[in-house]
Structures are given as C-alpha cells and as structure tokens.
Amino acid sequence: MLVAIAWFGARVARDHHWVHDPGARATVRHGLLSWDGAFYADIAQRGYGALPRVGLRFFPLTPLLGRAVGWLGVGPRTGVVIVANVAALVAATLLVVLLRREGLPAATVTRAVWLFSLAPPAFVLVFGYAEATFLALAIGVFLGARTQRWGLVIALGLLAGASRPSGFIVAVPVVIEALRTFRAAPHRERAAQLAAAASPFVGAALYLAWVGHRFGDALLPYRVQTRANLKGSFTDPITSTTDALRGMFHGHIGTALHVPWMIVVVALIVVCFRRLPASYGAYAAITIASAVTSANLDSFERYALSAFPVVIALALVVRAGWQSRAAIALSAAAMTGYATLAFLHAYVP
C-alpha cells in the first residue's frame, strides 16, 4: 500500500510536470517492473538470447519462477511480480520462525519483522526484483544451518547461488555453523556439511556453465557487472566512501543518501557480533563489504537489506513502547520516500 501511494505521488508529479527528468516517465509507466525489474521480466518473457549481454548479470532463478507462474495464465511479466511478493511474505514468515528458534522475546521478534518489512529499501520486495526470493532463501539457509538440517541447506543453497551474483555469500554462515560440530560429527554428516557449504557455489556454477556453453564466456555475468556504468571495478571501501561524500556536496541526491546509512549499518554490524551468534555478524559484515568494494555505490541500501541480521540488531537496540512505534513509523515514511524517488528516477534501487 505504501509503495502504491509512492507510485501515485510520482505519477501526479509527472503529470503536472513538476519533474523534468525524462527517465521519470519510463519508471512511472513501468511501475513494479521499473529499473532492474524490467530485465527480470524480459528474461522471463523472452529469454537471455533476446537481450543485450548486460542482461546476463541477472541470475536465472527469479525469471524461471516468473515464467512458471506465468503458465497459470497471468503471463511471465506479472509472474515475476507475483514471485517477488510471495517470496517477501515467505521471507518474513521464516524470519519469525528463525528468531523464535533463537529464543528472542516475542516483542523483539514482532519488531524485527516490522522493521524488515518496512526498512527504507524494502519497497524492492514488491518490485519484480530477485531481492525477496534471495532473502527467503538466505533466511531459510540460516534456519537450516542453525538446526543442523543439512539436506535443507543443500537445496536452499543451490537455489540461492542461482538467484543473484553474490548469492554464494550464504555459504559463510553455513561454514561457521558446520565448524561447531564438524570434528565430532560422523563421516556421513561431515559429507553433508561439506556439500551444504559448497551448494551455493554449485548453484552459481551451474548458471555460469550454461553461460559459457551458450555465449562462450562463463564469467560474462561478472565481467558485465564490473563495467563502469554499472557496479564498476573493485575499489577499496575508503575510496568508494570518499566518492560518496564528494557527491553530497555536488547535488547528487542518490549518492548523498548512501553515506548516513553506511554509518548506521556498520554500527549495527557491531551489535550483531556482540549480541547474536557469530554466523549472523560474519554474514552481515561480508555482505556489506561486498557492497562497498565497488566503484559505484548505487543500490547500497538494497544490498544492506540483504544483510538481514542488521535489521535484527536494530530490533534488539530499539526498546519496546514509543521507541519501537517511532522507529517503525519513521522507517515506513522513509521507505515511502525512497520508493517515490525511485519512481521519479532520482534514486537507483
């Protein structure tokens, strides 16, 4: 509903010519399939061969699921949006199950799910993006690893690896949780643990192998990702952060918005290490590190949402009562604002 309000506000701004960016017309027109959602929808509808090579950086799980849902009569483009919305509900549900399993108080669990669902970048969970699908898989991997259900981790890890370029990061908590019992485990369970740790890489490798067979270069999805007009080449975090700070003083709204969130996220990662099991902090830290080591920090907030333990950390820091209600209300307002800026082509989600 909040994203719908944002879209309506952006449409009014466009129709009254309050916005002069020509890109705003396209993003308002495409709605939930704007920005990267258009690529996922096109892949689901026409396949990779009909798109420019840049489309290979979008991993295949979400388009495949969208095409499958499209067979129900809604079409693959609508199917992609349905997949994202259903996956968002699944992710929120799994987060509840995971946090209850961790023994957190009911009020903290409720607060965490609200903050997760209404985080400033969470509007992408209803866009035709892969974010919701990956988050559902990542939280499921955590749940499986924390309960030592390695068969479940293997299945979800394979899918996570095929969901996005950095999907293999879910191997980090799997390795940490497996090491807790690896020495004492019987040989059969050790084999399952090793397979679980390898599964995200296998999922990604299967897609890369297909790309190599079809297009002659298995690493093409990562090569196009590092183009200067996309994520750019590997850059040390200090340089990328300095560039973002410069953008604050040169009118780059989208760039300026990254800086305060980077500070908040780093502080919350510290909370993760202090108050949650090691696997949560390690996963969040590596996810954020991968987001700040590219020359282009566009979509930083969206990548930070993938580091879902930071939301849990925020729920632990915020107290019940007025603080909780204020945090949720402010987060919802910020999400609506970010969604509006995305529809107006002023912010890259």
Give every CB contact of residue 67 below 8 A, 6+ residues apart in sequence.
44, 45, 76, 79
Mean pLDDT of 301-330: 94
**Residue 29 near residue 196, CB atoms below 8 Å:** no
Whether the pLDDT of residue 255 is over 80: the answer is: no
**Domain layout of the chain by residue ranges:** 2-343
Q: What SS3 class is residue 80?
A: helix
d(CA 221, CA 205): 11
d(CA 129, CA 131): 5
d(CA 57, CA 173): 24
Instruction: Give the CA count within 13 Å in the CB-facing half-sphere of 166.
Output: 20
Mean pLDDT of the chain: 91
Instruction: List the end-to-end C-alpha distance of the chain, in Å, as a whole number.
Output: 18
Nearest CA among 331, 348, 333, 330 for reference residue 252 = 348
Q: What is the pLDDT of residues 204-238, one digit of tens each?
A: 999 999 999 999 999 999 988 876 555 555 666 66
Give every CB contact of residue 151 below 8 A, 6+ residues apart in sequence.
192
Lowest mean pLDDT segment, chosen from 10-19, 57-66, 191-200: 10-19
Report the pLDDT value the prediction gives residue 346, as an integer from 0 to 100.
87
Q: What is the pLDDT of residues 34-87, one digit of tens each?
A: 999 999 999 999 999 999 999 999 999 999 999 999 999 999 999 999 999 999
* Residue 226 per-residue DSSP state: T
DSSP per residue, 250-271: TT-HHHHHHHHHHHHHHHHHHH
- For helices 106-117 and 309-317, the axis angle rounded to 10 degrees is 130
pTM of structure:
0.94
Give every CB contact of residue 140 below 8 A, 6+ residues apart in sequence.
94, 152, 156
Report the pLDDT value the prediction gives residue 49, as an integer from 0 to 100.
92
Q: What is the pLDDT of residues 120-166, one digit of tens each?
A: 999 999 999 999 999 999 999 999 999 999 999 999 999 999 999 99
- Categorize the per-residue pLDDT at 296 as very low, low, confident or very high, splitting at 50, 70 and 90: low
Report the pLDDT value the prediction gives residue 165, as an integer from 0 to 100.
94
Report the pLDDT value the prediction gives residue 265, as an integer from 0 to 100.
94
Lowest mean pLDDT segment, chosen from 123-127, 158-162, 289-293, 294-298: 294-298
Task: Supply 123's token pair.
Answer: 């509007």
Longest dimension (CA), the chain: 68
- Which residue is associated with the tokens 């099991």? 277
Look at the alpha carbons of 155, 64, 69, 332 in this order and tell me if their dihedral is positive or negative.
positive
Q: Cβ–Cβ contacts within 10 Å for residue 28, how many? A: 21
Task: Supply 301's token pair.
Answer: 């907030």
**Residue 109 near residue 96, CB atoms below 8 Å:** yes
* Residue 319 per-residue DSSP state: P
